[in-house]
Structure 1
Amino acid sequence: MRFQHSSDIWRDFPELVPGVLVASGVSADVSADDSILELGELAAARLETSSEGELPEIQAWRRAFSKMGLKPTQYRCASESLLRRFRKEGALPRLHPLIDLCNAFSLAYAIPVAVFDVSKISQYVEVRYAAGDETYLTFSGETEHPPPGEVIFADAEGRAHARRWTNRQSGHSAVRDTTTDVLIVAEALHETAGKDVESLMAGLSDELAAVWSMTPPDYTILGPAEPRFEFPA
């Protein structure tokens, strides 16, 4: 299996820095509360001096959304939506230890982090422009068809596992209590994205190892020269 961005995406967003890893052996019967609280404190400290919309990480995604023809305050990247809710409510709802942990990293770094159940992916995931015939399953069970030109996470069967790039993931490959193998992707576009994504992925790998008692998963930082991450089915 593989993960990659299309050449068109690299052409249009050369500042992109994606980090990716695959972890096996996750489960829902663990606690990552200590790390989640610590990461939440880091996010809260940043929000004391700046709103989420003023953070350079978020501003870079807003520019990308504008470039895609989307209104940045109507369609927000995942990390901005999380930060906005965290600022208003002081906490995020708990869903699954892995999702909660990845959301906490997304809060602390203001970088979108996507998590996919590998068993629900057909052959590969490619971040690319939609052709218009792909299918997207909402969490409520409805099927949508992203319009041509929208940035999606697509697999070999034409499923869109995320819409509007980092805006909304699909219910089809969402992590559930039965999930064991996951693909995790973090993407950033801001000036210090290189070191920030590296730090996020290193920290996440260590936390996965600690919480699920596994060998720290290897991660890769992709780029135009090495745009593909391959992993066992």
Structure 2
Amino acid sequence: MRFRHAEAIRTGFPELAAGALYAGGVGTAVDTGPRAAEYTARAAARLAHATEGEFPEVLAWRRAFTRMGLKPTQYRSASESLLRRLRKVGSLPRIHPLVDLCNAISVAYAVPVAVLDVDRIAWPLLEVRPAAGDETYTAFGGALEQPAPGEVTFVDSAGRAHARRWTHRQSGLSAVGAHTGRVLVVTEAVHDGGAEVVAEVLKTVEEEVAAHWGVATQSAVLAPDAPEFVFGV
């Protein structure tokens, strides 16, 4: 199984820093609540001094969305949406122990952290690339959508899109749930210093997975000279 960003994305967004992690055996019979609360508290402390719209990590994604022709306050990166919810509601949604943990890590570092069900993706390749216009996307409610040509999405080997507008929204098809056994975690940043943050996020997720599930992981920081993550071998 392979994950990568297409050359068009690397060229169009040279500031992109990204990393990916693979893990199996991540069932629901664990309690990540206390650790998730610690990461959420870090984000809440930061939000006490500034809104998420002032964070450099968020502003960088807004600039990236503008370059994609999107209105950044209409289509927000996943990390901005989570931070906004945390500021307004005071909590994050409870979905799955690993997703809850990664959402908390996402707000703590203010960068997107996506968790996808490996067994709901058609392999051998999942690629972040501009849509051709013939891909299909399954919304969380089950409705089928078609990303517009040029829209950045995660496309698998069957032509299925697993995201809308890059880091805006994941697919219901590969969403993690009680059925999930294997996951691919992807984190991306486009702000100055993003490479260091991505490496730290990967290390944090790896340590938390080991502590809660006791399973080994595979991970890699991706770069122009090493753009592909090969895993599950």
TM class, shorter-length:
over 0.9
CA contact (8 A) 2:152 2:164 kept: yes
Counterpart Cα distance in 1 of 2:21 and 2:70: 29
Counterpart Cα distance in 2 of 1:195 and 1:58: 16
Partner of 1:165: 166
Unaligned runs of 5+ in 2: none
Off by >4 Å, runs of 4+ in structure 1:
none
- 1:84 equivalent in alignment to 2:88: no
Return 61-70 or 93-102, whichever deviates more.
Answer: 93-102
Q: Deviations over 1:181-209 (max 9, x none)?
A: 00000000100101111111101100000
CA contact (8 A) 2:83 2:107 kept: yes
Counterpart Cα distance in 2 of 1:218 and 1:184: 10
Partner of 1:4: 4
Unaligned runs of 5+ in 1: none
Counterpart Cα distance in 2 of 1:100 and 1:232: 24
Partner of 1:42: 42
What SS does the corresponding residue of 1:229 show, helix, strand or coil?
A: strand
Counterpart Cα distance in 1 of 2:93 and 2:70: 27
Q: Give the residue type in structure 1 aligned to 2:185.
A: I
CA contact (8 A) 2:82 2:107 kept: yes
Q: Give the residue type in structure 1 aligned to 2:178.
A: D
- 1:220 equivalent in alignment to 2:232: no
Structure 1 residue 232 displacement after superposition: 2.0
Q: Give the residue type in structure 1 aligned to 2:52.
A: E
- 1:100 equivalent in alignment to 2:116: no
Counterpart Cα distance in 1 of 2:218 and 2:178: 23
1:134-213 equivalent positions in 2, closer than 5 A: 134-213=135-214
Partner of 2:131: 130
Structure 1 residue 218 displacement after superposition: 3.1
CA contact (8 A) 2:218 2:231 kept: no
Counterpart Cα distance in 2 of 1:134 and 1:218: 29
Q: CA RMSD in A?
A: 0.8
What SS does the corresponding residue of 1:191 show, helix, strand or coil?
A: coil
Q: Give the residue type in structure 2 aligned to 1:232.
A: G
Identity %: 55
TM-score, normalization by structure 2? 0.98
Q: Give the residue type in structure 2 aligned to 1:41.
A: A
Counterpart Cα distance in 2 of 1:122 and 1:79: 26
Q: Deviations over 1:26-48 (max 9, x none)?
A: 00111001110100110011101
CA contact (8 A) 2:78 2:168 kept: yes
Partner of 1:73: 73
Counterpart Cα distance in 1 of 2:147 and 2:157: 16
Count of aligned positions:
232
Partner of 1:27: 27
What SS does the corresponding residue of 2:162 show, helix, strand or coil?
A: strand
